[in-house]
């Protein structure tokens, strides 16, 4: 494998250089038909390779030429048997993973802090989720990973389970002992799927946690665009081993992918792979060093705490990704959302996410010492403004409430006859839609879940501080879509079997 090559990107450039007369889509015809202001801003080069699946450029739905070659190079770079490019983001790759192993009525083990895309795939597949609660960090108000014992218990209680899906690393950067977890699950001959959206760099440095492919997982959906340098919405699905069927995986990926695939996104994946394969360790080393220096300085700022090596003493945390700066505002008189707004208004800084008590900042291949210095200066200023000196400031827990009662499968609830009720009057009803805060996109409520008073209060707290609560059909979030009519007589499966506690 020659990782200096970029088969697809090179073919696109060569095709553009030939300047063929185009009588095919896209209609902007190399940018000539595009709005002039937009064309001038984006540039002619981008439009010259915004093409479609004509013969010289291969077809993502059945790659046999330059896309196939680019995917083979990516598989080698990420340690996989096969790599599939996704222009549907990691959402498309996650849906492909789940739908390729689960048929209607079959069970899959999921952590409760699963992303909305995972639940969407469960609904489309008609699968039944077996929920495993992750370990919770009451200090930070975030969820970490699931434990081996809890996953093993879930398997023992559900012998016919078709797959286990793990999140590694979590959005906040914590990781399980993935190799040990995979070996345990494989001992039951069950495939392991990994939501590795935030783990692109893991494969490229020994100081980072182990990647899913290194740990022996069967499939991993990885967001190259998040941390690996490709364009937004471009991701990959890595596959290895004989517990999953690559032909079926390709079939589902094709079904879930637009036929108007973006060659700009595909080319950016090809180029990002080249950079990672050739210089990934060097770039990761720089990124890790920057993040460690930032973490040290943040922990010297009064009222703030950014977890580090000590997090690995907590249950559910084996390692952590140091490039994720989870900044806990432990003694500042402000919420994470307040901090996000303050940084935007005063320093023109945008963070990855905020919640009730944290902000998350990512250090990536694109950061410099100057960037980090600006962030640290802003955080010091924020501490000076909002540090609580003369009174105790007690934060309420931010993690999703413990209470979880399931009365319908997600698919049954989503497609059931439904009605809208006021948020305040929804307690005891079965939700028929998602409710989540994005980012990170982890559902507070999933279709089929019984709405509890604690969850209503939790939603209201997020709304009161201005956090982006999304999902309900009602854009004001004052009404929820619930299963119509009485639900107590309509329980369709044994709840106890599908919520596993360690």
Give a yes or no: residue 275 inside a domain.
no
DSSP classification of residue 189: T
The Cα-based distances of 250 to 126, 254, 333 in angstroms read 20, 6, 51
Sorting pLDDT into bands at 50, 70 and 90, what band is 492?
very low
Sorting pLDDT into bands at 50, 70 and 90, what band is 400?
low
Give a yes or no: residue 145 inside a domain.
no
Instruction: Show Cβ contacts of residue 23 under 8 Å, excluding neighbours closer than 6 positions.
Output: none
Give a yes or no: residue 333 inside a domain.
yes
Same domain, 290 and 382: yes
Instruction: Show Cβ contacts of residue 64 under 8 Å, excluding neighbours closer than 6 positions.
Output: 58
The Cα-based distances of 380 to 293, 324, 385, 387, 411 in angstroms read 15, 19, 9, 10, 48
Same domain, 435 and 347: no
Give the model's pLDDT for residue 439: 86
Give a yes or no: residue 128 inside a domain.
no
Same domain, 381 and 424: no
Task: Read off the CATH number of the domain in which 331 is found.
Answer: 3.90.1150.10
The pLDDT mean for the chain works out to 94
More confident residue, 5 or 1: 5
Query: pLDDT for 234-277, tens place per residue?
Result: 999 999 999 999 999 999 999 999 999 999 999 999 999 999 99
Give the model's pLDDT for residue 489: 39
Give Rg (Cα) of the chain.
Answer: 23
Residues 162, 243: Cα–Cα separation, whole Å: 11
Give the model's pLDDT for residue 399: 53
Task: Read off the CATH number of the domain in which 434 is found.
Answer: 3.90.105.10
Structurally, the chain folds into a number of domains equal to: 2
Q: Which residue, of 371, 386, 401, is where some domain finishes?
A: 386
Asked if 215 contacts 182 with a C-beta cutoff of 8 angstroms, the reply is yes
For residue 306, report the phi and psi dihedrals to the nearest 5 degrees.
-120, 110
SS3 category, 355: coil
Which is nearest to 395 in space by CA: 303, 316, 459?
Answer: 303
Give the model's pLDDT for residue 186: 98
Catalogue the E-assigned strands of 387-441.
418-422, 435-437
Same domain, 291 and 350: yes
Residue 207 reports pLDDT greater than 60: yes
62-71's contacts with Cβ under 8 Å and 24+ in sequence apart are 62/254, 65/11, 66/7, 66/8, 66/10, 66/11, 67/7, 67/8, 67/266, 69/5, 69/7, 69/8, 70/6, 70/7, 70/8, 70/9, 70/266, 70/269, 70/270, 70/273
Give the model's pLDDT for residue 490: 45
Same domain, 380 and 440: no
Give a yes or no: residue 146 inside a domain.
no
Asked if 6 contacts 270 with a C-beta cutoff of 8 angstroms, the reply is yes
Same domain, 357 and 416: no
Residue written as tokens 């739908």? 99
Give a yes or no: residue 342 inside a domain.
yes
Query: pLDDT for 292-316, tens place per residue?
Result: 999 999 999 999 999 999 999 999 9
How much is the average pLDDT of 71-84? 98
Same domain, 382 and 416: no
Same domain, 417 and 369: no
Residue written as tokens 């950014």? 306
C-alpha triplet 137, 291, 469: angle, nearest 5°: 50
Sorting pLDDT into bands at 50, 70 and 90, what band is 485?
confident
Residues 116, 138: Cα–Cα separation, whole Å: 23
Give a yes or no: residue 18 inside a domain.
no
Over pLDDT 90: what percentage of the chain? 90
Residue 354 reports pLDDT greater than 50: yes
Give the model's pLDDT for residue 362: 98
Asked if 143 contacts 400 with a C-beta cutoff of 8 angstroms, the reply is yes
Same domain, 371 and 437: no
Give the model's pLDDT for residue 438: 87
Residue 159 reports pLDDT greater than 60: yes
Instruction: State the distance between the two ends of the chain, measured CA to CA, in whole angstroms.
Output: 45
How much is the average pLDDT of 423-437? 95
DSSP classification of residue 240: -
Q: Which secondary structure element, helix H or strand E, spans residue 362, and what is its range?
A: strand 358-362
DSSP of 49-114, one letter per residue?
T-----GGG--TTS--SHHHHHHHHHHHHHT-SEEEEESSHHHHHHHHHHHHH--TT-EEEEETT-
Give a yes or no: residue 158 inside a domain.
no
Which is nearest to 276 in space by CA: 194, 364, 174?
Answer: 364
Which pTM was predicted?
Answer: 0.94
DSSP classification of residue 30: T
Same domain, 429 and 471: yes
Query: pLDDT for 119-156, tens place per residue?
Result: 999 999 999 999 999 999 989 999 999 999 999 999 99
Same domain, 485 and 425: yes
Same domain, 378 and 432: no
Domain that holds residue 455: 410-500
Q: Which secondary structure element, helix H or strand E, spans residue 175, and what is its range?
A: strand 174-175
Residue 387 reports pLDDT greater than 80: yes
Give the model's pLDDT for residue 491: 45
Burial of 327 (0-12, 13-18, 19+ CB in 10 A): buried
Residues 355, 339: Cα–Cα separation, whole Å: 10
Burial of 335 (0-12, 13-18, 19+ CB in 10 A): buried
């Amino acid at each position: 494998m020659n990782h200096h090559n970029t088969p697809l990107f090179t073919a696109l450039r060569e095709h553009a250089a030939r300047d063929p007369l185009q009588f095919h889509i896209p209609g902007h015809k190399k940018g000539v038909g595009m709005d002039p202001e937009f064309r001038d801003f984006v540039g002619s080069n981008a439009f010259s390779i915004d093409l479609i699946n004509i013969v010289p450029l291969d077809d993502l739905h059945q790659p046999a030429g330059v896309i196939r070659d680019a995917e083979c190079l990516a598989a080698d770079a990420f340690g996989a048997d096969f790599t599939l490019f996704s222009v549907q983001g990691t959402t498309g790759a996650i849906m492909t993973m789940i739908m390729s192993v689960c048929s209607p009525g079959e069970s899959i083990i999921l952590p409760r802090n699963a992303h909305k895309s995972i639940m969407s795939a469960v609904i489309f597949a008609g699968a039944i989720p077996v929920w495993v609660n992750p370990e919770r960090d009451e200090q930070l108000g975030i969820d970490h990973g699931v434990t081996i014992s809890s996953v093993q218990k879930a398997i023992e209680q559900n012998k016919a389970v078709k797959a286990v899906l793990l999140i590694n690393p979590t959005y906040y950067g914590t990781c399980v002992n993935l190799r040990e977890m995979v070996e345990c699950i494989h001992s039951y001959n069950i495939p392991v799927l990994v939501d590795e959206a935030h783990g692109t760099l893991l494969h490229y440095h020994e100081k980072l946690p182990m990647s899913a492919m290194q740990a022996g997982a069967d499939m991993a959906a990885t967001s190259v665009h998040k941390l690996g340098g490709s364009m937004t919405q471009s991701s990959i699905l890595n596959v290895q081993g004989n517990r999953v069927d690559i032909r079926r995986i390709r079939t589902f990926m094709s079904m879930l992918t637009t036929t108007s695939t973006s060659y700009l996104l595909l080319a950016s994946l090809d180029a990002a792979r080249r950079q990672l394969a050739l210089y990934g360790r060097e770039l990761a080393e720089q990124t890790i060093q920057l993040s460690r220096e930032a973490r040290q300085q943040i922990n010297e700022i009064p009222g703030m705490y950014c977890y580090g090596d000590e997090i690995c003493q907590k249950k559910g945390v084996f390692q952590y990704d140091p490039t994720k700066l989870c900044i806990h505002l432990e003694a500042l008189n402000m919420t994470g959302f307040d901090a996000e707004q303050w940084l935007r208004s005063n320093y023109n800084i945008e963070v990855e996410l905020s919640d009730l008590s944290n902000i998350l900042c990512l250090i990536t291949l694109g950061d410099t010492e100057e960037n980090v210095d600006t962030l640290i200066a802003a955080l010091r200023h924020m501490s000076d403004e909002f540090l609580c000196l003369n009174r105790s400031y007690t934060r309420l827990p931010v993690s999703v409430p413990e209470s979880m009662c399931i009365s319908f499968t997600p698919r049954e609830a989503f497609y059931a006859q439904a009605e809208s009720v006021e948020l305040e009057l929804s307690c005891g009803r079965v939700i028929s839609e998602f409710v989540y805060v994005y980012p990170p996109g982890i559902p507070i409520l999933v279709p089929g879940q019984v709405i509890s008073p604690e969850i209503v209060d939790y939603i209201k707290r997020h709304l009161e501080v201005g956090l982006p609560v999304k999902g309900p059909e009602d854009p004001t979030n004052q009404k929820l879509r619930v299963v119509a009519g009485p639900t107590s007589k309509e329980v369709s499966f044994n709840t106890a079997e599908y919520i596993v506690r360690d």
